[in-house]
Amino acid sequence: EAQVTQNPRYLITVTGKKLTVTCSQNMNHEYMSWYRQDPGLGLRQIYYSMNVEVTDKGDVPEGYKVSRKEKRNFPLILESPSPNQTSLYFCASSPWTGGDGYTFGSGTRLTVV
Amino acid sequence: AQRVTQPEKLLSVFKGAPVELKCNYSYSGSPELFWYVQYSRQRLQLLLRHISRESIKGFTADLNKGETSFHLKKPFAQEEDSAMYYCALRGLGFNKFYFGSGTKLNVKP
């Protein structure tokens, strides 16, 4: 089944403790992206990647890092999480051109206390 | 600058009533427009795209280039339509997406 897999689904952590949210897709998509979803603000793009070793900032990159060492994986790294990063995070992938748009992961609900 | 605007944060209608979720966009080239839906506690999923010109779950959307709009419509709303709806624009040539802020549709019994 074609899908985007995120882990974990839920995470509660403390301020300053580094964490990684994993994202993997099995569709050989070139383009991958991370979004955060907050009430009243909709979806905001954090980082995106157009292919292996090619990443760029989205609209709200502060406090986040990403890497794209393999085509299928696009982990989101929070080096020193803070409470304002409490949010629902979605990973998404799509082919470079054409296709039906994004395939989204099931989301990761992160709480930073 | 590319931008997608969904002016309504919340739209409440009664079951059986018509519904229209508004989406306006600004883009200098030829965009491709999408509607995504997110049911409670689920992932976003594609509802429809303007190129397909299809009706999904009774919803339709027509791209109006003159008014730069892509409103989502359904003649008779159902309770199971209650969800968050996002309008999105993709620039021609590569998959950079721009999302609106979303409209929560609440269909009351």
Residue A101 — pLDDT band, cuts 50, 70, 90? confident
For residue B49, the model assigns a pLDDT of 87
Cβ distance of A96 and B36 shorter than 8 Å? no
Helix, coil or strand: residue B21:
strand
Residue B90: its chain A contacts at CB < 8 A?
Answer: 101
For residue B91, the model assigns a pLDDT of 73
For residue A41, the model assigns a pLDDT of 84
* Residue A88 in this model has a pLDDT that exceeds 80: yes
Q: How far is A106 from chain B (nearest CA, A)?
A: 5
What number of other Cβ atoms are within 10 A of residue B28's Cβ? 8
Q: How far is B16 from chain A (nearest CA, A)?
A: 27
Residue B49: its chain A contacts at CB < 8 A?
Answer: 100-101
Cβ distance of B94 and A96 shorter than 8 Å? yes
Residue A25: its chain B contacts at CB < 8 A?
Answer: none
Q: Which residues of B touch A (CB under 8 A)?
A: 6, 9, 34, 36, 42-46, 49, 86, 88, 90, 93-97, 99-102
What's the pLDDT tens digit per position in A12-63? Answer: 999 999 999 999 999 999 999 999 999 888 889 999 998 999 999 988 999 9
Cβ–Cβ contact A93 with B under 8 A? no
* Residue A106 in this model has a pLDDT that exceeds 90: yes
One-letter-per-residue 3-state SS of chain A: CCCEEEECCEEEECCCCCEEEEEEECCCCCEEEEEEEECCCEEEEEEEEEECCEEEECCCCCCCEECCCCCCECCEEECCCCHHHCEEEEEEEECCCCCCCCEECCCEEEEEC
Helix, coil or strand: residue B32:
strand
* Percent of chain B whose predicted confidence (pLDDT) is above 90: 60
